Amino acid sequence: MNTKSRIETIVNSKYYPILLFLVSFVFVTLFSRSTSFLYIFEGGDPAIFKQMGLALLRGKTLYVDYFDNKGCILYFIQALGLWLGGDFFILIMQAISLTITLLIWDKILALYRNERDRLICLGFALTLLLCFYQDGDLTEEWCLPFASYPILVYFRALKSDKGINPINMFVVGICFGIIAFIRINNAAPFLGFIAYYWIQLLINKSYKKLFQSIFLFLIGLCIIAATCILYFYLKAGWHGVDEMVYAIFTSNIEYMGIKVRQKAFLYVFYSLFLSLCILQQIINSRNVKEILIPSMLSYALYIVTFGTRCFTHYLIALLPLVVVLFTTTQSKPEKKRKPALIALSLIAVLFFLPIPLAFTVNDLMLKNDKYSVIYSNFHQFIEEIPLGERDSIYNYNLHGNGAGMMQHERLLQCNKVFFSSFAFNYKRLKREETEKAFRPPLWIMVSWNRYYPKEDAYFILNNYDLCYEFPHERVYLKKPRIGQEFQVYLYRRKDQIPAP
């Protein structure tokens, strides 16, 4: 049996999904440092997501008691993993999600590609995922299967020339609803294809089919939306629903408008990546009109929804369009195709892999001990304060790092907002935080190496006693100060504080 036959046997085997699950499990174990048992690290956005999940398990109402600008379904996933037993079960769910994504991508590729090409393309897609992955357990990762399935539905309809089955459009509506209540921006890669399909039905005057398609899509969307709205209504009435809508949708729009400093290479890579994808499809795609136009619509929606913010992990949302690129590029003769695929693989290995692998080795071999010392210091502090005061710690400006330390001890911070920048930029949150200033928290956790208003510093230093301090390694640093430490200070309120 030659190599080609062996590959065909593996890909067509009933055990192929199990193989993909093992690949997915190894991938998230090695690179999802926020949930993998190989790492001690707790911090960044994933720590905040887990804090929101822990708040759910403690009977708190999301967005009313605690605020983050992501969707409630993401926090339900975190709560389920923590309820089942902790980070390891979140890791298992990540592996299942990635397996489903790979199976969907494989089915898209199978419409035009042979078994060997499918494996190579999946390997390259995984390489790109690794490049953009960062800490793992992020919204883009959880949305991948729900953003990829509608593209599979579109390509099957394109291949069969029979249109999208009504039941499939209902499922697409459910997928959009799930993404909308995780992070709606991540729906951009497939909405261009669905919008183009509807436009084609309109141009062809298939009004009945168009109405049926949109109606079933909306039914699927409404089922997810109604379930989430009902949950918050039962928890906190219309106030809970209002807070949920504000956090998931309104504040997300405000967030995308906040100006941030980004690294120039991200803009260059981002623009180059999109330009090459579009150029490749113009030159080499089959069904140019049916593929190029919806792809460009999706790219345009992506740029509009993500705005000027260009964090690396945002590019994960574009991976379904990368699979479209692999699928629709015209096949070349065997003699020309093999060197091209080998060259593509070498580029992936030599150019993309070293950076994430270097970070992984660095975290595994060098930083685990540092994080162990940090969490040991924080645990020592927690052990010294009374049990009744352990949920009275105000995370002033430590953001994800502070949330990570709290999560490591399975404690909740007492302030609603995890990022102080949210309180500074969102009018509603700024008003709430200002009102809380009249009820000073018992404990405050702060770093004077980070941004803070001077009046807040005067208030803390005059009305609080310093009880504990220890160094913490900064997770996100500008060059050339990589590895710099900052001090964490823990203050306790004095017995008497003058009225404001």
Per-domain residue ranges of the chain: 16-352, 368-493
Question: What count of residues does the chain have?
Answer: 500
Other CB atoms within 10 A of residue 340 CB: 11
485-493/443-446 β-pairing: antiparallel
Report the C-alpha gap between 448 and 86 in whole angstroms: 32
Q: Which residue has the tokens 């489903």?
A: 100
Amino acid at 311: F
Q: In DSSP terms, which residues pair with 486 in a beta bridge?
A: 472
pTM, 2 dp: 0.85
First-to-last alpha carbon distance for the chain, in angstroms, is 82
The token duo for 15 is 């055990």
Predicted confidence pLDDT, tens digits, the chain (500 residues): 566 676 667 767 788 889 999 999 999 998 888 898 888 878 788 989 999 999 999 999 999 888 888 999 999 999 999 999 888 999 999 999 999 999 999 999 888 877 777 888 888 888 888 877 878 889 999 999 999 999 999 988 888 877 788 889 999 999 999 999 999 888 888 898 999 999 988 998 888 899 999 999 999 999 999 999 999 999 989 999 998 998 888 877 777 665 555 554 555 555 555 555 555 555 555 556 777 788 878 877 887 777 656 677 888 888 888 888 777 665 544 444 555 555 555 555 555 555 566 566 555 555 666 777 788 888 888 888 888 888 888 888 887 888 888 888 888 888 887 766 555 555 555 555 555 544 678 888 888 776 677 777 888 888 888 888 877 665 433 333 444 567 888 888 887 555 44
Distances (CA, A) of 34 to 85, 209, 269, 413, 471: 15, 46, 26, 19, 20
